[in-house]
C-alpha cells in the first residue's frame, strides 16, 4: 500500500511513499521489486545491515526457546549482555529498557537521585543547544530544539542549556550555581546536523575535569553515536575520557527494541531496589539480539570497517563536490556523515528515493548518511556517485 495513507495511523510521521518488504545487507526491496541502497539503516539501527544471518539465527533460536520472562527472575542473556557491555565500555553496571528516550530517562532519574542523596533538593542538569534526547516529557525538555517541545508545555524543569562545544559557558555555571548535578551531552550531535566538537579530545577532557571538580556526573547520550557507529564501540573511546553514565539504544539490538543506561563507579550503585523498572527491558529476545549484534561487530571487524568506509565516503564526497556552489561543509565521525548545504534541503530526500537511495535530512540544511557498519568499498563508492549526482542536480534547480 505504498502510496496510500492509512487513516488508522496517527499522523506523527511524514512518510515517504514506499513500503519495503525485504532486505539484505545494505539493500532493501519494495513491493514492486525495486532495489534501494540504504544509507540510513533505520536511522543508525541496522548496523549489521538487513537480515544478517547470525542475528537472524540468534533471534530465531531465542524465540523458539524463550521470548520473555519478567525481570523479577534472573535472565541469563541479560546478564551476559551486561557483562559484555561492561567489558567493552570499561564501565560497571547496566539498566536495560527499550529505547533511546527511556535510556535517557533512566540517566536523568539517576542524576536526580544522586542529587537528592547528597541533599540537593532542586537539582539541575546541564544540556546542550541543538541536542536531541527523545520524545518523552523529560527527554523533550532536555532536547535543544523548540520544535520537539512546542505544544507540550509545561516542560519538565531542572535543565540548564548551554551552547554545544563551549566549555567556558559550563565553567561559568559552575562558578555561580551549587545545585547542578550532571552534564548530559551527545559526543556527536546526530539530529542536530552531525555536529562534531572542534576538538573532541579537549572538549571531553574539559567536561571530565569540570565534572570531577564539582562532583557532577558526566552523562553521555550515545544512542546514535554508540555501538560502532563512529569507528569505536562508543564515541567517548576516541578521547580516553570515560563518562559516569552512558545511554544506548538504536544499534544495540539491530532493530529488536532495546535501550541501556550504563554507569560506572559511584553512579553504578545509585539505583537501588524499587527505584526504576521496565516490563520488557532486557528480556531474553532483546538481549539475545544485543549479544549477537556485539559479537558480530567484533568478529567481523565492523568498527574498523566503519572508520575506513567513513573516511572513504567523506574523502570522495569532498573531492567530487569541491568548489560546488551551495555545499558549505562535509563532516563525519566514522559512519555518521553530514553534508551541510547553504539552503534547506528536505526535498532531496524524495529525489533520492526516486533514484532508489535512502538518505535523510536533519537540522534543515544537513544531508545525513548513517549506512550500515558493514557497507563495503564498492557500495560506498556507489553511494557517493549517486549522491553527488543528486546534490548537483538539487543545487542546480
Ligand atoms: C542521540 C539520541 N538520543 C535519543 C534518541 C531517542 O531515541 P528513541 O527514538 O529510541 O527514543 C535519539 C533518536 O534519534 C537520538 O539520536
The finding on whether 390 has its CB within 6 A of some atom of ligand 1 is no
Q: Is the pLDDT of residue 3 over 80?
A: no
C-alpha grid cell, residue 23: 532486505
The finding on whether 124 has its CB within 6 A of some atom of ligand 1 is no
Q: Where in the chain is the domain with CATH 3.90.1150.10?
A: 20-52+301-396
Rounded distance from Cα 132 to ligand 1 centre (Å)? 7
What are 48-68's pLDDT values in tens digits?
999 999 999 999 999 999 999
Residue 6: its pLDDT value, please?
60
pLDDT band at 334 (very low <50, low <70, confident <90, very high): very high
Q: Is the preceding peptide bond at 154 cis, omega within 30 degrees of 0?
A: yes
Find the mean pLDDT for residues 233-239.
Answer: 98
| DSSP assignment string, 282-298 | T-HHHHHHHHHHHHHHH
Q: Where in the chain is the domain with CATH 3.40.640.10?
A: 66-299
The finding on whether 186 has its CB within 6 A of some atom of ligand 1 is yes
Using the atom order of ligand 1, give the atom closest to the CA of residue 222.
1
The finding on whether 138 has its CB within 6 A of some atom of ligand 1 is no
CATH number for the domain whose boundaries are 20-52+301-396: 3.90.1150.10
Residue 156: its pLDDT value, please?
98
Q: Residue 333: count other Cβ atoms within 10 Å of its Cβ.
A: 26
CATH topology of domain 66-299: 3.40.640
Gap between the Cα atoms of 348 and 355, Å rounded: 11
0.95 exceeded by the pTM? yes
For residue 6, give every residue at least 6 positions away whose Cβ sits within 8 Å of its Cβ, in sequence order, or none: none
Find the mean pLDDT for residues 203-218.
Answer: 98
Long-range pairs, 7-12, Cβ under 8 A, ≥24: none
What are 79-129's pLDDT values in tens digits?
999 999 999 999 999 999 999 999 999 999 999 999 999 999 999 999 999
Percent of the chain with pLDDT strictly greater than 90? 98
What are 246-305's pLDDT values in tens digits?
999 999 999 999 999 999 999 999 999 999 999 999 999 999 999 999 999 999 999 999
Amino acid at each position: 500500500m505504498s502510496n496510500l495513507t492509512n487513516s488508522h495511523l496517527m499522523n506523527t510521521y511524514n512518510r515517504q511513499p514506499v513500503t519495503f518488504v525485504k532486505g539484505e545487507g545494505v539493500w532493501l526491496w519494495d513491493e514492486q521489486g525495486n532495489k534501494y541502497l540504504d544509507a540510513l539503516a533505520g536511522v543508525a539501527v541496522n548496523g549489521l545491515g538487513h537480515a544478517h544471518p547470525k542475528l537472524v539465527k540468534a533471534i530465531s533460536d531465542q524465540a523458539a526457546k524463550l521470548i520473555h520472562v519478567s525481570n523479577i527472575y534472573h535472565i541469563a542473556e541479560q546478564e551476559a549482555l551486561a557483562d559484555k557491555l561492561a567489558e567493552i565500555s570499561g564501565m560497571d553496571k547496566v539498566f536495560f529498557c527499550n529505547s533511546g528516550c527511556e535510556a535517557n530517562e533512566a540517566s536523568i532519574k539517576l542524576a536526580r537521585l544522586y542529587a537528592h542523596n547528597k541533599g540537593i533538593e532542586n537539582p539541575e542538569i546541564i544540556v546542550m543547544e541543538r541536542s536531541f534526547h527523545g520524545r518523552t516529557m523529560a527527554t523533550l525538555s532536555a532536547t535543544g530544539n523548540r520544535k520537539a517541545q512546542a505544544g507540550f508545555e509545561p516542560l519538565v524543569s531542572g535543565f540548564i542549556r548551554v551552547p554545544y562545544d563551549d566549555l567556558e559557558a559550563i565553567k561559568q555555571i559552575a562558578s555561580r550555581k551549587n545545585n547542578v548535578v550532571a552534564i548530559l551531552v551527545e559526543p556527536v550531535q546526530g539530529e542536530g546536523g552531525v555536529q562534531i566538537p572542534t576538538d573532541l579530545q579537549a572538549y571531553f577532557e574539559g567536561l571530565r575535569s569540570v565534572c570531577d571538580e564539582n562532583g557532577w556526573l558526566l552523562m553521555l547520550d550515545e544512542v546514535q553515536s554508540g555501538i560502532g557507529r563512529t569507528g569505536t564501540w562508543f564515541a567517548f573511546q576516541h578521547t580516553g575520557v570515560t563518562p559516569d553514565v552512558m545511554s544506548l539504544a538504536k544499534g544495540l539490538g539491530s532493530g529488536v527494541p532495546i535501550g541501556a543506561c550504563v554507569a560506572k563507579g559511584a553512579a553504578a550503585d545509585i539505583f537501588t531496589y524499587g527505584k526504576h523498572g521496565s516490563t520488557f527491558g532486557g528480556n531474553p529476545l532483546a538481549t539475545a539480539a544485543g549479544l549477537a549484534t556485539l559479537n558480530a561487530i567484533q568478529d567481523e571487524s565492523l568498527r574498523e570497517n566503519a572508520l575506513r568506509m567513513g573516511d572513504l565516503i567523506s574523502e570522495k564526497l569532498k573531492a567530487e563536490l569541491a568548489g560546488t556552489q551551495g555545499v558549505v561543509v562535509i563532516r563525519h565521525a566514522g559512519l555518521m556523515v553530514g553534508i551541510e548545504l547553504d539552503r534547506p534541503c528536505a526535498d532531496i530526500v524524495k529525489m533520492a528515493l526516486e533514484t532508489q537511495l535512502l538518505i535523510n535530512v536533519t537540522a534543515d540544511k544537513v544531508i545525513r548518511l548513517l549506512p550500515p557498519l558493514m557497507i563495503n568499498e564498492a557500495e560506498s563508492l556507489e553511494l557517493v556517485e549517486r549522491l553527488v549526482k543528486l546534490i548537483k542536480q538539487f543545487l542546480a534547480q
